[in-house]
Amino acid sequence: MSDPILSVSGLTAHYGDFQALFGVDLALEPGEVVAIIGANGAGKTTLMRAITGIARISAGRVRLDGRDITGSAAPDIVMAGIAMVPEGRRLFPSLSVEENLLIGAHARRTAGHWNLESVYRLFPALRERRQHPGTALSGGQQQMVAIGRALMSNPRVLLCDELSLGLAPVVIREIYAAFPEIRAGGASVVVIEQDVGQALKVADHVHCMMEGRITLSGRPGELSRDAIHDAYFGATH
Protein backbone atom coordinates (compact mmCIF):
# COMPACT_ATOMS: atom_id res chain seq x y z
CA MET A 1 0.00 0.00 0.00
CA SER A 2 1.30 3.46 -0.91
CA ASP A 3 1.80 6.22 1.63
CA PRO A 4 -1.27 8.36 2.15
CA ILE A 5 -1.25 11.77 0.48
CA LEU A 6 -3.27 13.21 3.35
CA SER A 7 -3.18 11.79 6.82
CA VAL A 8 -5.01 13.10 9.85
CA SER A 9 -4.24 11.61 13.23
CA GLY A 10 -5.81 12.21 16.61
CA LEU A 11 -7.35 15.47 15.45
CA THR A 12 -9.14 17.41 18.17
CA ALA A 13 -10.80 20.79 17.67
CA HIS A 14 -13.04 23.11 19.63
CA TYR A 15 -15.75 25.43 18.54
CA GLY A 16 -15.65 28.01 21.33
CA ASP A 17 -16.11 26.00 24.53
CA PHE A 18 -17.71 23.15 22.63
CA GLN A 19 -15.45 20.26 21.61
CA ALA A 20 -16.33 19.44 18.01
CA LEU A 21 -13.73 16.75 17.18
CA PHE A 22 -12.44 13.97 19.43
CA GLY A 23 -9.25 12.43 18.05
CA VAL A 24 -10.24 11.88 14.43
CA ASP A 25 -8.01 9.69 12.22
CA LEU A 26 -8.28 9.77 8.46
CA ALA A 27 -6.09 8.68 5.57
CA LEU A 28 -6.43 9.48 1.89
CA GLU A 29 -4.45 7.45 -0.63
CA PRO A 30 -3.29 9.04 -3.88
CA GLY A 31 -6.05 9.00 -6.50
CA GLU A 32 -8.65 7.92 -3.97
CA VAL A 33 -12.09 9.36 -3.22
CA VAL A 34 -13.07 9.22 0.43
CA ALA A 35 -16.56 10.12 1.59
CA ILE A 36 -17.47 11.31 5.06
CA ILE A 37 -21.10 10.89 5.98
CA GLY A 38 -22.96 11.85 9.11
CA ALA A 39 -25.81 13.90 10.46
CA ASN A 40 -25.75 17.67 10.97
CA GLY A 41 -23.44 18.62 13.82
CA ALA A 42 -21.40 15.41 13.57
CA GLY A 43 -18.22 17.48 13.07
CA LYS A 44 -17.72 16.92 9.34
CA THR A 45 -17.42 20.60 8.43
CA THR A 46 -15.22 21.32 11.45
CA LEU A 47 -12.91 18.54 10.28
CA MET A 48 -12.63 20.22 6.84
CA ARG A 49 -12.08 23.62 8.42
CA ALA A 50 -9.37 22.21 10.69
CA ILE A 51 -7.55 20.56 7.77
CA THR A 52 -7.64 23.78 5.71
CA GLY A 53 -6.42 25.95 8.59
CA ILE A 54 -9.64 27.94 9.04
CA ALA A 55 -10.51 26.30 12.37
CA ARG A 56 -7.87 25.98 15.09
CA ILE A 57 -6.58 22.54 15.93
CA SER A 58 -6.33 21.74 19.67
CA ALA A 59 -4.42 18.48 19.32
CA GLY A 60 -3.39 15.96 16.69
CA ARG A 61 -1.53 16.15 13.38
CA VAL A 62 -2.33 16.84 9.74
CA ARG A 63 0.22 15.67 7.17
CA LEU A 64 0.23 16.31 3.46
CA ASP A 65 2.52 13.89 1.65
CA GLY A 66 4.33 13.24 4.90
CA ARG A 67 4.89 16.93 5.59
CA ASP A 68 3.42 18.26 8.83
CA ILE A 69 1.06 21.15 8.08
CA THR A 70 -0.68 21.21 11.46
CA GLY A 71 -1.41 24.77 12.50
CA SER A 72 -0.26 26.36 9.23
CA ALA A 73 -2.20 29.42 8.07
CA ALA A 74 -5.00 28.78 5.59
CA PRO A 75 -3.22 30.49 2.64
CA ASP A 76 -0.10 28.35 3.24
CA ILE A 77 -2.18 25.19 3.23
CA VAL A 78 -3.72 26.07 -0.16
CA MET A 79 -0.23 26.75 -1.49
CA ALA A 80 0.85 23.35 -0.17
CA GLY A 81 -1.86 21.71 -2.26
CA ILE A 82 -5.15 21.36 -0.38
CA ALA A 83 -8.12 23.19 -1.91
CA MET A 84 -11.64 23.32 -0.55
CA VAL A 85 -15.11 23.68 -2.00
CA PRO A 86 -16.75 25.25 1.05
CA GLU A 87 -20.23 24.46 2.30
CA GLY A 88 -22.77 26.80 0.72
CA ARG A 89 -20.29 27.43 -2.16
CA ARG A 90 -19.29 30.88 -0.90
CA LEU A 91 -18.75 32.45 -4.33
CA PHE A 92 -17.50 36.03 -4.29
CA PRO A 93 -20.55 38.14 -5.20
CA SER A 94 -18.52 41.07 -6.59
CA LEU A 95 -16.68 38.78 -9.02
CA SER A 96 -17.88 37.37 -12.32
CA VAL A 97 -17.87 33.63 -12.95
CA GLU A 98 -14.53 33.87 -14.72
CA GLU A 99 -13.03 36.07 -11.99
CA ASN A 100 -14.21 33.59 -9.37
CA LEU A 101 -12.32 30.90 -11.29
CA LEU A 102 -9.25 33.08 -11.75
CA ILE A 103 -9.06 33.91 -8.08
CA GLY A 104 -8.84 30.18 -7.43
CA ALA A 105 -5.52 30.28 -9.29
CA HIS A 106 -4.19 32.97 -6.93
CA ALA A 107 -2.31 30.30 -5.00
CA ARG A 108 -1.09 28.39 -8.05
CA ARG A 109 2.64 27.90 -8.09
CA THR A 110 3.03 25.48 -10.95
CA ALA A 111 1.16 24.67 -14.13
CA GLY A 112 -1.03 21.60 -14.03
CA HIS A 113 -4.05 19.98 -15.55
CA TRP A 114 -6.45 22.73 -14.53
CA ASN A 115 -6.80 26.14 -16.13
CA LEU A 116 -9.73 28.20 -17.41
CA GLU A 117 -9.93 26.14 -20.59
CA SER A 118 -10.01 22.74 -18.89
CA VAL A 119 -12.51 23.93 -16.27
CA TYR A 120 -14.82 25.20 -19.05
CA ARG A 121 -14.42 21.83 -20.80
CA LEU A 122 -15.41 20.08 -17.56
CA PHE A 123 -18.42 22.37 -17.01
CA PRO A 124 -19.42 23.75 -20.45
CA ALA A 125 -22.41 25.58 -18.96
CA LEU A 126 -20.01 28.02 -17.29
CA ARG A 127 -18.31 29.14 -20.49
CA GLU A 128 -21.26 31.06 -21.91
CA ARG A 129 -22.06 32.57 -18.51
CA ARG A 130 -18.52 33.56 -17.66
CA GLN A 131 -19.22 37.30 -17.61
CA HIS A 132 -22.21 36.95 -15.27
CA PRO A 133 -21.86 37.61 -11.56
CA GLY A 134 -21.19 34.26 -9.88
CA THR A 135 -24.21 34.62 -7.66
CA ALA A 136 -26.59 35.15 -10.62
CA LEU A 137 -26.29 31.49 -11.61
CA SER A 138 -28.49 28.55 -10.62
CA GLY A 139 -27.47 26.58 -7.54
CA GLY A 140 -25.98 23.76 -9.59
CA GLN A 141 -23.96 26.11 -11.77
CA GLN A 142 -22.75 27.97 -8.69
CA GLN A 143 -21.56 24.65 -7.32
CA MET A 144 -19.69 24.06 -10.59
CA VAL A 145 -18.01 27.45 -10.21
CA ALA A 146 -17.04 26.60 -6.64
CA ILE A 147 -15.53 23.27 -7.76
CA GLY A 148 -13.78 24.90 -10.71
CA ARG A 149 -12.43 27.66 -8.45
CA ALA A 150 -10.91 25.06 -6.12
CA LEU A 151 -9.47 23.07 -9.05
CA MET A 152 -7.80 26.17 -10.48
CA SER A 153 -5.09 25.92 -7.81
CA ASN A 154 -4.26 22.44 -9.20
CA PRO A 155 -4.66 20.85 -5.78
CA ARG A 156 -3.34 17.45 -4.83
CA VAL A 157 -6.17 17.11 -2.35
CA LEU A 158 -9.65 18.47 -3.02
CA LEU A 159 -12.05 18.76 -0.10
CA CYS A 160 -15.73 19.09 -1.03
CA ASP A 161 -18.18 20.08 1.69
CA GLU A 162 -21.82 19.16 1.03
CA LEU A 163 -21.78 19.32 -2.76
CA SER A 164 -25.37 18.17 -3.09
CA LEU A 165 -26.90 20.49 -0.49
CA GLY A 166 -30.09 22.04 -1.86
CA LEU A 167 -29.62 20.69 -5.39
CA ALA A 168 -32.01 18.62 -7.49
CA PRO A 169 -31.02 14.95 -8.01
CA VAL A 170 -30.41 15.45 -11.73
CA VAL A 171 -28.03 18.33 -10.96
CA ILE A 172 -26.24 16.28 -8.31
CA ARG A 173 -25.65 13.50 -10.83
CA GLU A 174 -24.27 16.04 -13.29
CA ILE A 175 -21.82 17.34 -10.70
CA TYR A 176 -20.63 13.92 -9.59
CA ALA A 177 -20.17 13.00 -13.25
CA ALA A 178 -17.17 15.34 -13.15
CA PHE A 179 -15.38 13.20 -10.56
CA PRO A 180 -13.58 10.80 -12.91
CA GLU A 181 -11.93 13.73 -14.66
CA ILE A 182 -11.08 15.44 -11.37
CA ARG A 183 -9.30 12.23 -10.37
CA ALA A 184 -7.62 12.00 -13.75
CA GLY A 185 -6.43 15.58 -13.23
CA GLY A 186 -4.35 14.35 -10.32
CA ALA A 187 -6.43 15.25 -7.27
CA SER A 188 -7.39 12.93 -4.48
CA VAL A 189 -10.78 13.84 -3.10
CA VAL A 190 -12.56 13.97 0.24
CA VAL A 191 -16.33 14.56 -0.01
CA ILE A 192 -18.70 15.31 2.79
CA GLU A 193 -22.09 13.98 1.85
CA GLN A 194 -25.41 13.75 3.67
CA ASP A 195 -26.78 11.60 0.89
CA VAL A 196 -25.54 8.15 1.93
CA GLY A 197 -26.48 6.52 -1.38
CA GLN A 198 -24.48 9.08 -3.33
CA ALA A 199 -21.49 8.68 -0.99
CA LEU A 200 -21.47 4.89 -1.38
CA LYS A 201 -21.64 5.26 -5.16
CA VAL A 202 -18.74 7.68 -5.56
CA ALA A 203 -16.27 6.72 -2.83
CA ASP A 204 -13.51 4.15 -2.45
CA HIS A 205 -13.70 4.48 1.32
CA VAL A 206 -16.52 5.74 3.50
CA HIS A 207 -16.21 7.09 7.02
CA CYS A 208 -19.25 7.80 9.13
CA MET A 209 -19.03 10.49 11.79
CA MET A 210 -21.16 11.06 14.85
CA GLU A 211 -20.64 13.55 17.66
CA GLY A 212 -17.10 14.40 16.64
CA ARG A 213 -15.85 10.83 16.21
CA ILE A 214 -15.52 8.42 13.33
CA THR A 215 -17.89 5.62 14.21
CA LEU A 216 -17.57 3.43 11.13
CA SER A 217 -15.10 3.06 8.26
CA GLY A 218 -14.88 0.74 5.32
CA ARG A 219 -15.23 0.15 1.61
CA PRO A 220 -18.75 0.75 0.31
CA GLY A 221 -19.24 -2.95 -0.49
CA GLU A 222 -18.28 -4.02 3.02
CA LEU A 223 -20.73 -1.80 4.87
CA SER A 224 -24.24 -3.03 5.57
CA ARG A 225 -27.21 -0.68 5.67
CA ASP A 226 -27.73 -1.53 9.34
CA ALA A 227 -24.16 -0.79 10.29
CA ILE A 228 -24.35 2.58 8.55
CA HIS A 229 -27.68 3.31 10.20
CA ASP A 230 -26.20 2.60 13.62
CA ALA A 231 -23.08 4.66 12.96
CA TYR A 232 -25.16 7.53 11.60
CA PHE A 233 -27.79 7.80 14.30
CA GLY A 234 -26.17 5.92 17.16
CA ALA A 235 -26.83 2.27 17.95
CA THR A 236 -30.22 1.61 19.50
CA HIS A 237 -30.00 -1.86 20.89
Partner 1 sequence: MFSLDTIVQGLLLGGLYALFAAGLSLVFGIMRLVNLAHGDLIVLGAYLILGLGTATGMSPFAAALIAMPLMFALGWLLQTRLLNRVLGEDILPPLLVTFGLSVVIQNGLLAAFTADSRKLAAGPVEAASVAVGPVQMGVMPAMTLATAVAVILGLNLLFYRTALGRAFRATSDDAVTAQLMGIRPQRIFAMATGIALVVAAIAALYLGTRANFDPSIGPARLLYAFEAVIIGGLGSLWGTLAGGVVIGLAQTMGAAINPEWQILAGHVAFVLILMVRPRGLFPRAID
Contacts to partner 1 by CB under 8 A: 52-54, 73-75, 78-79, 83-84, 86, 90, 92-95, 99, 102-104, 106-107, 149, 153
Distance CA 165, CA 177 (A): 16
Instruction: Provide, rounded to whole angstroms, the least separation between the CB of residue 40 and partner 1.
Output: 20
Instruction: Provide, rounded to whole angstroms, the least separation between the CB of residue 104 and partner 1.
Output: 6
Name the amino acid, one letter, at 106: H
Distance CA 143, CA 132 (A): 15
Q: Strand 205-210 vs strand 33-38: parallel, antiparallel, or unpaired?
A: parallel
With residue 122 as reference, give the H or E element that holds it: helix 116-122
The residue among 77 and 231 lying less far from partner 1, judged by its C-beta, is: 77
Instruction: Provide, rounded to whole angstroms, the least separation between the CB of residue 81 and partner 1.
Output: 11
The residue among 55 and 216 lying less far from partner 1, judged by its C-beta, is: 55
> Residue 148 in contact with residue 118, Cβ under 8 Å?
no
The residue among 73 and 168 lying less far from partner 1, judged by its C-beta, is: 73
> Residue 157 in contact with residue 64, Cβ under 8 Å?
yes
Instruction: Provide, rounded to whole angstroms, the least separation between the CB of residue 130 and partner 1.
Output: 14
The residue among 10 and 93 lying less far from partner 1, judged by its C-beta, is: 93
